[in-house]
Amino acid sequence: MSDKMLTLEKFEEASEKVKEATLPTDLVYSEYFSGQTGNKVYLKPENMQFTGAYKVRGAYYKMSTLTEEERQKGIITASAGNHAQGVAYAAKKYGAKAVIVMPTTTPLIKVNRTKGYGAEVVLYGNVYDEACEKALELAKEHSYTFIHPFDDPAVATGQGSIAMEIVKELPLVDYILVPVGGGGLATGVSTLAKLLNPKIKVIGVEPAGANCLQVSLKNGKVTTLPSVNTIADGTAVKTPGSNIFPYLQKNLDDVITVDDEDLVVTFLDMVENHKMIVENSGLLTVAALKQIKDKGKKMVCILSGGNMDVITMSSVVQQGLIMRERIFTVSVLLPDRPGELSRVAGVIAKESGNVIKLEHNQFISINRNAAVELRITLEAFGHEHKQQIIDALEKNGYSPKLVRTNI
């Protein structure tokens, strides 16, 4: 099967086929990120795709290559969410039953959307790899047709349709940055990009806490990480695909990693500058831009998806504000007497600080002159304003200490 797939002919076929199930996601030029990096940065907004992610491409193309008999047996897959929706949507279009095994940690939006496309959802395990074992077990038990989310050359060929669209729209592209979980998207994109123009550099981007491909490439063989730890749930994969690994070895120019903290700040940048909601895995490519030393190049960042749970979103926004010093917490010790609290509030108000939360602890000390600890969580305009408030508290005889913010 793999020899037949991932060829120019099959990529062309897949690019035509997926048009039946996808929306056009034209490149968006980013003035902001271009200015930040000294390159011409374009975004490929697959977060605006049907099902909220690129995964529908590979799922739909794979479904088209199956026989009617294979489809009627029922389709099963394992997924951390986006492939699940892609398979559920494709199965619905083909009138086939779909069973999806998802890790118990999958964001609620992805679970509900998958059910919304008519699929049966089984929640199992903490990470994708455990869900996958369960799906294979169920496939054997019920004779379902299993569609792997990334380690399948037909699926990877469908994902490669993204590269076809990028090169058609921006023929002189220098770099394509692609997120890596198990490597299906990176396989399709890098293989087709090199077939179309070997000079295009394709860079894979992984979360630092789930860098299974980087480790595997270094070892020269598919390697399983002992554990993964990242906020990028869609790319929290322990083992890259073994069938597609040789393509990744051959066609990827490099793999770089991004810390969770960078994803948090990039989320805010994307919301503020592009009015786009992009999930953490989709932000990997944008967060990685600053690691590329070249200047004046045309770069495309693939935003792989935008399926983000609202609770996750709110905590990412809060963490981002803390990291940008828009929210901070100071601890001051006050004498235990009436009026002290309003005095501190007056100092902060004078500097235009906005108090979000107060914690008042009377039992911290036996010294009546510094007997009360007051923890104040404030909103500021940024680093300079924060420093201004701290200096004002110092000047008024308090000894403010910065402490960890817990909202």
Active-site amino acid positions: 55, 304
Q: Which residues pair with 373 in a beta bridge?
A: 333, 361
Contact assessment for residue 371 and residue 336, using Cβ atoms and an 8 Å cutoff:
yes
Two tokens at 247? 């393509």
- For 15, counting Cβ atoms within 10 Å of its Cβ (0-12 exposed, 13-18 middle, 19+ buried), the class is buried
Task: Tell me the residue length of the chain.
Answer: 407
- Gap between the Cα atoms of 49 and 43, Å rounded: 13
Q: Are strands 254-258 and 201-207 parallel, antiparallel or unpaired?
A: parallel
Burial class (CB in 10 A: 0-12, 13-18, 19+), 136: middle
